[in-house]
């Protein structure tokens, strides 16, 4: 444990060259580093945690890192081939999300990562009023698109759907899957298995859950919260996203005037900044 | 204290006489399988895990296996044996693969110079005394099963009725909370200087343990509740069998201390028996192994 602590400190010292972002002051530094090495080519890789700190960190609601260069001291390129653009990580309470860079394993003999650099995208909704759309008393507007100007500007739409609509969507989806399966030459019980996929994913909807259909071709909807009449978030039991639906789970019945707050990624609310970490010690 | 120590010593000495060294295996081979070297600057989940693949005729009747490591060094000479010298439990999963957990080798090491020790197999078919069958299981509620075959191994088993089990719930809760408080104090000492995230993870683990402890109080109508006193750890496994010896499939089991709860979806047959597998000297076979120059990933 003492050794781990020393390594941690060492990493922090090497990472002093972290990027300093535009006001409010934010910094990016290396957190824990995990080099998972396996001889079966499964689940292996180097993971570098990026910590976002500084005075403005509490305002960061989401973030993601796009790596442009990563190499160890032997010159080995650590970038993964064909890596997908990562999704935004969401913050928990008042702390900025910690990000994890997924890279290839460095050479066994390498003692440090010579350089990891790229850019971090930060979602700061406080910087743009258009990044937050609010729908009041949604329970009286079931199955009607919210039609809010901020959503229109983002070319997105949000609809809180009733159980009846949800059931109809489920049937429609099952039918679509059945046709797809039959079209692909799948027959018998397998067709029903494919048709039932939607049911399998979304079947477990409880009485107090809120079902939100999100049409968002440009992927601008960052998050959806349920709020009380004063605008305070009502904490639930988590959420899940399947296809165009988000299921927000609640243990208790929501107040009749509960509203919906939709966070939108707008040009003004997303701040992009470069980062560069040098000579990061490897465990 | 002195009396207790000498009694413990006597118990230990007797257990050595009773169990003794295992017999030698005739045909058991060990090779290295998947190797994972998980190196992290974090405080948890680091280490080297080496899968040992077992092959050979001796495996055919084996019900459980374990590895007793004696030496593990990388090519730089770094000792990889864990600091905590703990005798591992037998694995009853029935597979022919075992995993050993070691310290991380040096970053620059490319091979493990040597991993050696012994593989032990539990093969009850080699010794009639290793299988004890208790008849009329369901008629023996709430009193210790009196059988020489169990007594000779210093094993005492009681089938607990659901009524008695529920009545003991408060006592178990108090004992558990005492253990939790002790564990928490130790963990806090250990976690000095840990990050907020690590402290949170620990809190979550403690919370989970608390939730699981409550599960031991919830028993289904068909569950079998056993209290197993086994100071020398000789009970390998317990299973319920029908009158003809066929095993009654269980939905799983939980154990905490002396308490074991076996879950069944259907009522047990009136003539159900309990089969107790006991680690006797003759039922254990062992085979030394040495792996040299194992490549590291």
pLDDT in tens, A85-97: 999 999 877 788 9
Distance, in Å, from the CA atom of B153 to the CA atom of B149, rounded to the nearest integer, reads 7
Q: Is residue A174 scored above 90 in pLDDT?
A: no
pLDDT tens string A23-59: 457 889 999 999 999 999 899 999 999 999 988 888 9
The mean pLDDT value of chain A amounts to 86
Task: Check CB contact under 8 Å for B42 and A4.
Answer: yes
Test B36 with A36 for CB contact under 8 angstroms. Answer: yes
Q: What is the pLDDT of residue A89?
A: 94
Q: Give the per-residue pLDDT at A171.
A: 82
Give the A:B interface size as CB pairs under 8 Å. Answer: 70
**Distance in angstroms (rounded) separating the CA atoms of residues B236 and B280:** 10
Nearest CA in chain A to B295: A39
pLDDT of B282 reads: 95
Whether B104 and A7 lie within 8 Å, measured CB to CB: no
SS3 (DSSP) at A138: helix
Contact A111 B41 (CB under 8 A): no
Distance of residue A218 Cα from the nearest chain B Cα, in angstroms:
34
Residue A185: exposure state from Cβ atoms within 10 A (0-12, 13-18, ≥19): exposed
Q: Among A121-130, A175-184, B74-83, B141-150, which is the least confidently predicted range? A: A175-184
Least confidently predicted of A177-191, A203-217, B55-69, B158-172: A177-191
Check whether A10 has a pLDDT greater than 50: no
Token code pair at residue B33: 């399988």
Calpha distance A132→A221 (Å, rounded): 10
CB contact (8 A) between residue B37 and residue A37: yes
Looking at residue B5, its pLDDT comes to 47
Distance to chain A for B254, nearest Cα, Å: 27
Min Cα separation A170/chain B (Å)? 33
Residues in chain A whose beta carbon is closer than 8 A to a beta carbon of chain B? Answer: 1, 4-5, 7-8, 11, 32-40, 44, 98, 105, 108-109, 111, 282-283
- Domains of chain B, by residue range, sit at 2-126+283-295, 128-279
Per-residue pLDDT of chain B (297 residues; tens, 9 = 90+): 344 444 444 444 444 444 556 777 778 999 999 999 999 999 889 999 999 999 999 899 999 999 999 999 999 999 999 998 888 989 886 566 899 999 999 999 999 999 999 999 999 999 999 999 999 999 999 999 999 999 999 999 999 998 899 888 888 778 778 877 887 777 777 666 666 666 666 777 777 776 666 777 788 889 999 999 999 999 999 999 999 999 999 999 998 889 999 999 999 999 999 999 999 999 999 999 999 999 999
Query: How far is the CA of A105 from the CAs of A8, A35, A112, B14, B293, in angstroms?
Result: 19, 7, 12, 52, 22
| pLDDT score for A197 | 58
Q: Do A108 and B107 touch (CB under 8 A)?
A: yes
- Nearest CB among B38, B41, B104 relative to A32 is that of B41
| Among B residues 194-213, those touching chain A with beta carbons less than 8 Å apart | 197
Is B291 within 8 Å of chain A by CB? Answer: no
Residue of chain A whose Cα is closest to the Cα of B111: A108
pLDDT of residue A32: 95
Residues B40, B43, B49: CA angle, nearest 5 degrees: 55
Which residues of chain A form CATH 2.60.40?
2-127+269-281
Q: What is the pTM of this model?
A: 0.76
Angle at which helices B196-215 and B169-190 pack, to 10 degrees? 160
pLDDT for the residue A134: 96
- Give the residue on A whose Cα is nearest the Cα of B197: A98
pLDDT at position B218, please?
A: 80
The CATH fold of domain B2-126+283-295: Immunoglobulin-like (2.60.40)
The top-level CATH class assigned to A2-127+269-281 is mainly beta
């Amino acid at each position: 444990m003492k050794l781990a602590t020393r390594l941690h400190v060492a990493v922090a010292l090497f990472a002093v060259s972290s990027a300093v972002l535009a006001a409010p002051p934010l910094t990016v530094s290396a957190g824990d580093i995990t080099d998972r090495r396996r001889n079966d080519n499964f689940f292996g890789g180097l993971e570098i945690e990026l910590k976002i700190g500084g005075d403005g960190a509490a305002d960061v609601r989401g973030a993601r890192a796009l790596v442009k260069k990563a190499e160890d001291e032997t010159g080995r390129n650590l970038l993964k081939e064909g890596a997908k653009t990562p999704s935004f990580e969401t913050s928990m309470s008042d702390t900025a999300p910690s990000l994890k860079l997924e890279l290839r394993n460095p050479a066994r003999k390498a003692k440090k990562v010579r350089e990891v650099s790229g850019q971090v995208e930060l979602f700061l909704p406080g910087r743009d009023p258009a990044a937050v759309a609010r729908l009041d008393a949604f329970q009286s507007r079931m199955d009607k698109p919210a039609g809010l100007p901020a959503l229109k500007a983002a070319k997105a739409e949000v609809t809180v759907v009733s159980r009846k609509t949800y059931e109809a969507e489920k049937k429609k989806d099952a039918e679509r899957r059945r046709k797809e399966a039959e079209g692909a030459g799948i027959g018998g019980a397998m067709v029903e298995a494919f048709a039932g996929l939607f049911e399998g994913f979304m079947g477990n909807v409880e009485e107090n859950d809120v079902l939100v259909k999100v049409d968002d071709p440009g992927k601008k909807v960052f998050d959806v919260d349920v709020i009380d009449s004063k605008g305070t978030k009502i904490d639930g039991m988590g959420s899940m996203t399947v296809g165009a639906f988000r299921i927000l789970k609640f243990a208790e019945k929501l107040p009749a005037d509960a509203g919906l707050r939709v966070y939108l990624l707008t040009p003004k609310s997303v701040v992009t900044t470069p980062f560069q970490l040098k000579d990061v010690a490897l465990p | 204290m002195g009396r207790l120590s000498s009694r413990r010593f006597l118990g230990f000495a007797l257990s050595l006489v009773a169990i003794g060294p295992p017999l030698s295996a005739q045909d058991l081979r060990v090779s290295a399988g998947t190797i994972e070297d998980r190196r992290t600057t974090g405080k948890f989940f680091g280490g080297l895990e080496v899968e040992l693949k077992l092959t050979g005729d001796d495996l055919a009747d084996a019900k459980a296996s374990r590895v007793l490591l004696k030496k593990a060094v990388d090519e730089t000479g770094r000792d990889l044996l864990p600091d905590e010298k703990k005798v591992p439990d037998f694995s009853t999963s029935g597979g022919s693969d075992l995993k050993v957990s070691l310290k991380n080798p040096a970053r620059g090491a490319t091979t493990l110079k040597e991993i050696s020790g012994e593989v032990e197999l539990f093969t009850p078919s080699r010794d009639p005394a290793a299988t004890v069958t208790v008849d009329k299981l369901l008629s023996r509620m709430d009193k210790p099963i009196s059988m020489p075959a169990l007594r000779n191994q210093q094993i005492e088993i009681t089938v607990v009725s659901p009524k008695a089990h529920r009545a003991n719930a408060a006592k178990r809760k108090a004992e558990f909370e005492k253990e939790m408080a002790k564990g928490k104090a130790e963990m806090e000492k250990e976690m000095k200087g840990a990050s907020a995230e690590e402290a949170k993870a620990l809190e979550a683990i403690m919370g989970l343990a608390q939730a699981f402890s409550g599960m031991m109080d919830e028993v289904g109508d068909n569950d079998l509740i056993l209290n197993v006193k086994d100071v020398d750890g000789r009970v390998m496994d317990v299973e319920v069998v029908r009158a003809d010896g066929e095993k009654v499939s269980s939905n799983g089991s939980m154990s905490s201390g002396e308490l074991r709860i076996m879950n069944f979806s259907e009522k047990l047959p009136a003539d159900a028996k309990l089969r107790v597998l006991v680690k006797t000297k003759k039922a254990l076979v062992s085979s030394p192994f040495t792996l040299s120059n194992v490549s590291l990933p």
